[in-house]
Structures are given as C-alpha cells and as structure tokens.
Chains A and B, each alone.
Chain A
Amino acid sequence: AQKVTQAQTEISVVEKEDVTLDCVYETRDTTYYLFWYKQPPSGELVFLIRRNSFDEQNEISGRYSWNFQKSTSSFNFTITASQVVDSAVYFCALSSNTGNQFYFGTGTSLTVIP
C-alpha cells in the first residue's frame, strides 16, 4: 500500500526563520517518485520538485532544499529565511511505476508572520 504522512498540520514561523516540513512515505515498490506541491491561498497547486527513488542526492533551489533519506523513508522540505509569500499549504506526494495515481499527504499549513 502507498501512503504519505505529513504529521505537521500547521506551522507558524516568524519571517526570516528557517522551517522544515516533514514527509514520511510508505511503499513496497522499489521504483517510486516523490513530489512536493505548494497550494497558496489562491488555491492552485504549484509543482515544486520531483525526486526518483534512485537519486538520494539532496537538492537546493534558492531558499528551498530537500532532504531525501531512503533509510527513514522521508523526504523533508526546508525553507531557509522564510518570507510571508511562503505562507501556503504544502503537500508531499508519492507515485510509483506500478500505478498512475499520486498519493498525497494531508498537507502542512505554513504561516509566515511578518
């Protein structure tokens, strides 16, 4: 069974603080893909990153970084020097080669306070 758990329901930080959003996944597949999406207050879903199970290199994109650890089945997302515009709901998702659908976590609502 495929499952994504985002244990943090809501997080509030003060602007310029760093924040890490946790994502833990479950799958029996050896080939799978992990994603992060951002849902700002306007409601659309914005693709942030895709990672396949064979690539455990961490990735950095500006203030965003992702830490993929197969040993703990985690794919955590860190925002450095947070800004008010980062306020959104962030979803982690899992997909595998054996299926077509994405499995989403329940999301983490991030509020950055100015």
Chain B
Amino acid sequence: NAGVMQNPRHLVRRRGQEARLRCSPMKGHSHVYWYRQLPEEGLKFMVYLQKENIIDESGMPKERFSAEFPKEGPSILRIQQVVRGDSAAYFCASSPELAGTFTDTQYFGPGTRLTVL
C-alpha cells in the first residue's frame, strides 16, 4: 500500500517563476492537507481539500498561492511569481473519509523542498 506521494522532491525556481507541487494521497484517502515548514520551524497548516472542493484555506497566503484537488489526478499546490520567502519544505498529508466529527490521523508525504534563487 503506497504512502502519500509528492513530486518533485526538490524544486528550484528563480524569483518570478511559478512552482507547481503535486500530491497523490494514500489509496482510499479522500482528504488532502498542505502544510509549509520554514527552516527551524514546525509545520504550519495551509489548506484542506476534498475532491473538487476547498474546505478550509485559512492558512493560505491571500495572494499568489492556490490549491486544487480535481476529480481525477493529484492535488496541486501552485505558487505564482515566487519570492525568496517562499523557500520552504511543503508537505502534503492525507486522511481517510471522516466519519461524523471523528478526526483521523494524517499521513504525510516526503515533502517538496522548494528553493527560490
């Protein structure tokens, strides 16, 4: 049973370019979460998605960042016009279908390390 897949593992972009980070959840998981980890810090929540729906984007910067989880294919975190401050590790997590208000464990992918030159 494959875990959460993220690609690329490392991504280098120049200022002003676009970065696209991909996440395929674990088999059977329909909930995807994106987190950002700045150097020497813990993970900070960005967005929570289900198939074709953004459920909670309270942690997403208001500009340049967007996320989607289409009916088919991986979830995408897109950062437009990247700046040096976007350099971080971006982690995707997935969890199974929630039963009522039950909060399930989130399983994390290996992360994408974005470096903006």
Contact = CB atoms under 8 A, between A and B. Distances in A.
Given A33-B103, A45-B91, A47-B108, A107 B42 contact: yes
Contact of B43 (A6, A99, A102): A102
A55 interface: no
A97 B103 contact: yes
A100 B56 contact: yes
A91 interface: yes
Contacts of B93: 45, 102
A44 B109 contact: yes
Contact of B42 (A31, A47, A96, A105): A105
Contacts of B113: 43
A64 interface: no
Interface of B: 33, 35, 40-45, 48, 55-56, 58-59, 89, 91, 93, 101-103, 105-111, 113
Interface of A: 4, 6, 31, 33, 35, 37, 42-47, 50, 91, 93, 95-97, 99-107
Given A99-B56, A100-B55, 20 more contacts: A4-B42, A44-B108, A44-B111, A45-B43, A45-B108, A45-B111, A47-B107, A47-B108, A50-B105, A91-B42, A96-B103, A97-B101, A97-B103, A100-B48, A101-B33, A101-B58, A102-B35, A102-B45, A103-B45, A104-B44
